[in-house]
Structure 1
Amino acid sequence: MRIPARYNGPPDTANGGYACGTFAKLAADHQRPPVAVTLLVAPRLEHALEFRPGARRSQIWDGDRLIATMTTATAEFAAVEAVSLRAAAEASGRYRGRAGHPFPTCFVCGVNREPADGFPVAPGEVPGVPGTVACPWTPTAALSDRPELVWSVLDCPGGWTADPVREPMVLTRMTAVLHRPPRPSAPHVVVARRWRRQGRTATVGTALYDDRGELVAKATAMWTVVCVREPADGREQGDLDEVE
């Protein structure tokens, strides 16, 4: 399998949610859902990856390097509470990624992507609710029926519950539960909350609601702080060789 270049997070590696959703779909016949995906190394784009199924744990390999593992999630988790579509729209106006985004070409939340080529997801702080961000999202028909893309939408908002402009983080573990596909062309709300922070890692929850306030999907994830360096060509690149 290969992850297409379109679905990047950092410039040269996959968006974490897209990768996790893709790997979870591969493991669905071997691991009882919900599937927990752990990213050990950021998956490279347009590069041959090998799926190795297992009864208790499936794996993704890049040559002789273990990239990710998939297991059945053992702990249940609650959905982050909904906010109104109006509150989400107001919160989106406070999106910090519009200035100093660490990965501005990210497929989901990047500010240097055309709306037709990525997701215009711009989660901003919800006043009076600490560690919580939200934004509207309207899926197209082409994007609404692919589970890995719903995982993608549930990914990035969790990273913005902190301040990735000051302290860039990447997704290292994710579990998602999809109750039904989002409705094409209908407004939805994505809301994320930071549940706890320990050292370099943060645990977050993310949820997707429709315009009637009904839960469409939920996720829990772990994010890990990384370094961002600026190469000679001026592009920002995450130091993602190893994440723990």
Structure 2
Amino acid sequence: MQLLVSVRNSEEADVALSSGVNILDIKDPSRGSLGPASGKTIEDCLSLKTKFARQPESSVHFSCACGEVSDESPRWRDWNFDGRRVNFLKLGLSRLRNAPNWTNKWNETRSEIEGQIGTADETRWVAVAYADELVAQSPPIEDVISAAADFGCAGVLIDTFSKQSGRLREIVADDVIERYCHRIHSHGLFCALAGKLQPKDIAPLSVFPVDIIAVRTAACENGDRNGHISEKQIRTLLTELGNPVSNYR
């Protein structure tokens, strides 16, 4: 399994990259589960690719949270960074549960974002399925998995919309998580899990076909998702994942 850590600025990105994360995710956690960062913040984080150029660029992938399809004033409309430098983009589906044409809205917004920032063939979309789907009022997880396969996504992230809803493994039973993972893989997509996961969750989840563990809270000092990213916490997570801990400095 690989480790994705969400960061809110270039200082945190520097710490995460130096600690050896596999995927650097850029977002604004104060704006929600998929809160989009400002264009300048994203550009500042992407500029660190030059600093860590001694490592093969493929060793670290970059992803961006784009917010929700239903956002009335989406922040991505002001983005001006080069989207070709991003590997993965994520867009949420909250408040679309009862929309009969939610896949159309999703695809239209994805196309608009691609047109805003420009993307390369290597830039792929990750579908986000919320485990607390009734709170999020998002489409059922099974439907999101099917849509991800139908519309060319690289993978599916199962996350929680509200951090007050509880942790992923409190909301969804382990056997159900395992079934979702197998379903995602059956479509040839990668499977990522998030939702206030902690180091103690890694061993139980490692027996499932999970490709990526995505965290924010577990990588922060004192487990405060609004706090600062901690190198010590990241290295603990990497050790639990069985990944060699490296230093990119």
TM-score (norm 2): 0.30
Greater share of residues in helix: 2
Greater share of residues in strand: 1
TM-score (norm 1): 0.31
